[in-house]
Structure 1
């Protein structure tokens, strides 16, 4: 009975220890339809008369998210090879070769997939081309706040990244491209992993630990008493 009680306490204690939690934000859409940045040079704005290739060259989609507590942040795309996103939605292949960039709430450039991981775990090979061009953006640990992530066709980077100065509001360089057979659909996930899980037991777990220590003490005391009685006979 005592052993069983100890096992129950140990299990409850393990369950009560703080664990790192992850959240997934999924984005899907069409680069042409959802384009946030549509400038195509001096005095030029993308519109209905422009081709998909024009949009792939110049356009970018901005999506915003909030980090509530310091978190390790990564983003992975499914635009090119397809797959299943973090919410179980099936994504078809054949979108375009994606490019991700990350900015803080003021538009300051933080990171991109220029030197990121191509074909990361979770990405798939495009069944048409036999290539894997989806990417992973690893932002490291981000503090609480609002952030913007942009998606464009490779290699349409922001002026802020390309020149090393400026902000997201300055727009994009127009270096993107669309290969034959590619369409404009996109999909990517942003994953937030708690960067500061509790290294010590939570209050409820401390209570369970105290019970376990007390029980062990009482068991040891009882065994000592029984041993003394046997010696006195």
Structure 2
């Protein structure tokens, strides 16, 4: 990894936004849904969680576009200039499967620096629920569990913007993001809890007109 390129990064700007796009290839076999997410981090030590499900044994691919940009699985052109991303993969019990920075599968070079700091890797998984977390280098998941958190040792975006973008491909469903405090999870509990909170919010809005 090129240490010089990392030390030459300047202070970035945080812009709050988030979009997500799901694309399903109707004629393809099982696990043909591709999910594309884009957004920003409010703070250099923030991270965001996304949950996905495979209904059978499958190989998931996780691919970022934060650093060098490119065209994601939804066909959206992503601008270069975002921060150096890390993708961490956890199973349904919160156990860390792996955390990856820079490749290892081929990624394009950033036009400004020539460095290749995006993340692109595949992982064979059994049927079930999983979590992927995006964070900035070098906030690697501490592990071995999601509940162990992230080191939070960044003070800026190192000359890049707070923008991130990544794809989850080869799965059946995906939801996110979540910025909750790390704790063990089940995707069913997450969905039920979110639904209950939404219903309560609607009731409060109807009665108080806040």
- What's the TM-score once normalised by structure 1's chain length? 0.56
Greater helix fraction, Structure 1 or Structure 2: 1
List per-residue Cα deviations over 1:118-160 (Å, max 9, x = no partner).
4x43x32222222221111322x21111111000011201221
Match of 2:158 among 172, 179, 187: 179
CA–CA separation in structure 1 for the residues paired with 2:29 and 2:35: 20
CA–CA separation in structure 1 for the residues paired with 2:93 and 2:169: 21
Instruction: Give the CA RMSD over aligned residues.
Output: 2.3
List per-residue Cα deviations over 1:211-231 (Å, max 9, x = no partner).
xxxxxxxxxxxxxxxxxxxxx
Larger Rg: 1
Unaligned stretches of 5+ in structure 1?
A: 1-17, 33-54, 195-233
The 5-angstrom pairing of residues 47-126 of structure 1 reads 55-56=43-44, 58-114=45-101, 117-118=103-104, 120-121=105-106, 123-126=107-110
Aligned length: 144
Greater strand fraction, Structure 1 or Structure 2: 2
Match of 2:134 among 119, 144, 151: 151
Unaligned stretches of 5+ in structure 2?
A: 1-27, 173-210
The 5-angstrom pairing of residues 217-232 of structure 1 reads none
Inter-CA distance 87–95: structure 2 relative to 1 (3 Å threshold): same
List 4+ stretches of structure 1 deviating above 4 A.
18-21
